[in-house]
Amino acid sequence: MNDSDDLLETVGPRLRALRQEHDLTLTELSGSTGISVSTLSRLESGQRKPTLELLLQLARVHQVQLDELVGATPAEDPRVRLEPIRHGPMTMVPLTRRAGGLQAYKATIAAGSSRRTPDPQTHEGYEWLYILNGRLRMVLGEHDIVLEPGEAAEFDTRVPHWFGGADKRPVEFLTIFSREGERIHVRARSTDPGKPSS
């Protein structure tokens, strides 16, 4: 017996349960669908396999989707749903599934982090970030700068670095990290038709 046969075997009890739920007799359902009483009875008892035409009529009368009538499993959700990573006031949501190579995250730093004392860290790799909302304070080596929405930065993560809010508001930014130390290559298209793209 294959999966289709298994599904069809469960249709009879579902049809009976739906009819009883709507408080209908076989005769009343026959009048609504145009399907004979004997055919409905045989469908409910499993003595007859339902055809697509019969199932469509019954789904319409019972006001249910066809896949609900036959108990089909819905398609797997294609969205990436990875667990957030939390480091103090920073939450990083992975946007990529693969291990190694470039890793992309959407990061949020909670409101009020501007009171924290910078504690720069180092590690192997290279990082690129882009500010979506809020103002990000970035301590990088001897530099202490504030990045505004729409600004981007890239740096070698072997240089001591630290992130925090520049004020009391939360900060949201995208970050791409390469453990292998690859730099991000950005191609800009020239608006001057006489100049080649860089």
Q: Tell me the average confidence (pLDDT) per consecutive run of 10 residues in the chain, 198 residues long.
A: 56 84 86 90 87 85 76 56 79 77 87 79 91 94 95 93 91 88 57 54
Take residue 63 and report the two structure tokens written for it. Answer: 């006001």
How far apart (Å, rounded) are the C-alpha atoms in residues 67 and 190?
52
Contact 161, 185 (CB under 8 A): no
- Position 22 scores a pLDDT of 77
In 3D space, the residue among 78, 81, 129, 80 whose CA is nearest the CA of residue 108 turns out to be 129
- Position 150 scores a pLDDT of 95
The residue whose two tokens read 């520049």 is 166
Contact 5, 50 (CB under 8 A): no
Dihedral angle sign, alpha carbons of residues 59, 64, 69, 72: positive
Q: Can you name the CATH fold of 85-178?
A: Jelly Rolls (2.60.120)
Contact 169, 111 (CB under 8 A): yes
Q: Which CATH superfamily is domain 3-70 in?
A: lambda repressor-like DNA-binding domains (1.10.260.40)
Contact 69, 137 (CB under 8 A): no
Domain ranges of the chain: 3-70, 85-178
